[in-house]
Amino acid sequence: METEVKDRDFRLFVKTVRQYSKYDFSDYSDKSLKRMVAKVLSDNKTDINTLLCNISNNREYLDNIINKLTVTTTELFRDPLVWKYLRKNVLPGLKTWSTINIWHAGCSAGQEVYSMLILLNEAGMLERARIIATDINSEVLGIARSGKYRYSFNKGYLDNFDLVMGNKGDKSDGVTHVPYSRYLDIDSELDTISIKPFLLEKPVFKRHDLVAGEITFPGKFDLVICRNVVIYFNYSLQSRIFEMFYNHLHPGGFLVIGNHEKIAAPVSDRFIKTGRTYKKAVTF
Amino acid sequence: MYRAIIIGGSAGSFQVVARILSTLDKDFPVPVLLVLHRLKHVRSGFVEALSIKSSIPVKEPVDKDYIRPGFTWLAPSNYHLYVESGNRFALSTEPQVNHSRPSVDLSFFSAAKEYRRNLAGIILSGANKDGAAGLKMVGDMGGTTIVQDPSECQVPVMPLESMKLTKVHYVYNTEQIVSFFKKIRENGQNRQ
């Protein structure tokens, strides 16, 4: 049986975090967040009162707790069909653009950021790409910057890679075999999959809390990628965030979300579902 | 009146689920939630396979969908499925629980908290203890607890683990589970 946190204690936790930091978890999906709080309590072998006391007194402790509250699951080319769609149907349409601005919102440890960079390089568009990748969790951003992942738990990355590149006999698209070594250094002894340096230097990773609303970096984007992030938010917070994405997309730009997510109202009807992406309507 | 019926199953549960769904129709008055362990490589086609057997539409919820009757809601592969406040689903990609994602326990916990006595939880055939703690929670919150008769199960571990953890209300074979649904259908109609 898992440990649980009482409703009252949970509300007190959210309130205390809001009071002592700039983070507001009030509009998170409650069941998942409650479970994360319970996990923090049991991992730290502490009770709610001690936790709240530490949060209100110790900035560093608070930051560490924030990191522990977010779900960081991701993969290289997670849901390969999405990436295959981007490679075949979206990137060719952006080929003539002088710059391509991309925002990965909630990028976690960066696997999908590098997935995109690999596709951009294959399409010969890497030079013109400007990439910003943000997350609330400072710990995973550190991993993202290093571009180093465990090999043993992540062999699935390579299967995804093959699927997206058509390395396994999918000759219909006329693509030649793309070797891992073009982008990845795989060392089974050290148990690492490392992203090649020429990709590492490309994205700007930045700590940013989607809940805070306005973005602290300039610009409009051609592509916003935010997959399996807003599922941790309630519907009204989702609405605000999708509106923000809408405002920061160029007309004709693309939003890419998780396979089991949909765009919340009111901006939902200002996007046109295009394959596995949502395209911002040109005029409205 | 039940606000939801939640079914958890693993190895050996597909036929039972298919049999139950074949007896339901789209006017069935209560949302049916299905949390089944699935093999990663058969994820596509599972909805279709169940739909063929089913007289009620089988749907994988999108995050924050309202939990409405008229559908069988199937937890998508590789996500945990929560019943959220406000009668909506919430999905999550938290790590596996009991080696499973979706985890039957997590769905049952959240549904029990939301629906309390207005929930029926059913544990079917399976080789894993996932769901046992969840069914206990359903009972603790005042809901109805049912397990498939272990003697009928292809793999009886899941019902047996549940029975070890809590005193379940009913031990039913497949046809008794079917009549349980039938009764709910009839009562629902009488009420309208």
Q: Check pLDDT > 80 for residue B151.
A: yes
Q: Catalytic positions of B, please?
A: 10, 37, 130
Nearest alpha carbon to residue B117 among B36, B1, B25 = B1
Q: What CATH number does residue B13 fall under?
A: 3.40.50.180
Query: Which member of B61, B88, B91 has the closest CB to residue A235?
Result: B88
Q: Does B164 touch chain A (CB under 8 A)?
A: no
Let me know if residue B167 belongs to a domain.
yes
Calculate the average pLDDT of chain A. Answer: 93
Q: Check pLDDT > 70 for residue B191.
A: no
Chain B hits for A259, CB-CB cut-off 8 Å, are 76
Q: Burial level of A46, CB count in 10 A (0-12/13-18/19+)? A: middle
Chain B hits for A30, CB-CB cut-off 8 Å, are 84-85
Domain range for B42: 4-123+133-142+158-187
CA distance A240 to B145: 40
Q: For residue B47, what pLDDT is reported?
A: 84
Let me know if residue B85 belongs to a domain.
yes
Q: What mean pLDDT do residues B118-140 have?
A: 97
Count structural domains, chain B.
Answer: 1
Q: B95: nearest CA in chain A?
A: A73
CA distance B15 to B102: 19
Min Cα–Cα distance to chain B from A31, Å: 6
Q: Check pLDDT > 80 for residue A198.
A: yes
Q: What mean pLDDT do residues A173-197 have?
A: 90
Let me know if residue B42 belongs to a domain.
yes
Q: For residue A173, what pLDDT is reported?
A: 59
Q: For residue A171, what pLDDT is reported?
A: 58
Q: Is A31–B110 a contact, with Cβ atoms under 8 angstroms apart? A: yes
Let me know if residue B181 belongs to a domain.
yes
Q: For residue B192, what pLDDT is reported?
A: 38
Cβ atoms of A88 and A165 closer than 8 Å:
no
Instruction: Identify which of A79-88, A216-225, B180-189 has the greatest average pLDDT.
Output: A79-88
∠ CA B170-B140-B17, nearest 5°, is 45
Chain B hits for A1, CB-CB cut-off 8 Å, are 133, 136
Q: Is A232–B95 a contact, with Cβ atoms under 8 angstroms apart? A: no
CA distance A210 to A107: 11
Min Cα–Cα distance to chain B from A36, Å: 9
Q: For residue A41, what pLDDT is reported?
A: 93
Q: Is B105–A230 a contact, with Cβ atoms under 8 angstroms apart? A: no
Position A266 confidence tier, pLDDT thresholds 50, 70, 90: very high
Let me know if residue B65 belongs to a domain.
yes
Q: What mean pLDDT do residues A107-117 have?
A: 98
Say what the pTM is. Answer: 0.94
Strand blocks (E) in chain A? 100-105, 129-135, 148-150, 184-187, 192-195, 204-207, 221-226, 249-257, 271-274, 277-280
Q: Does A30 touch chain B (CB under 8 A)?
A: yes
Q: For residue B55, what pLDDT is reported?
A: 87
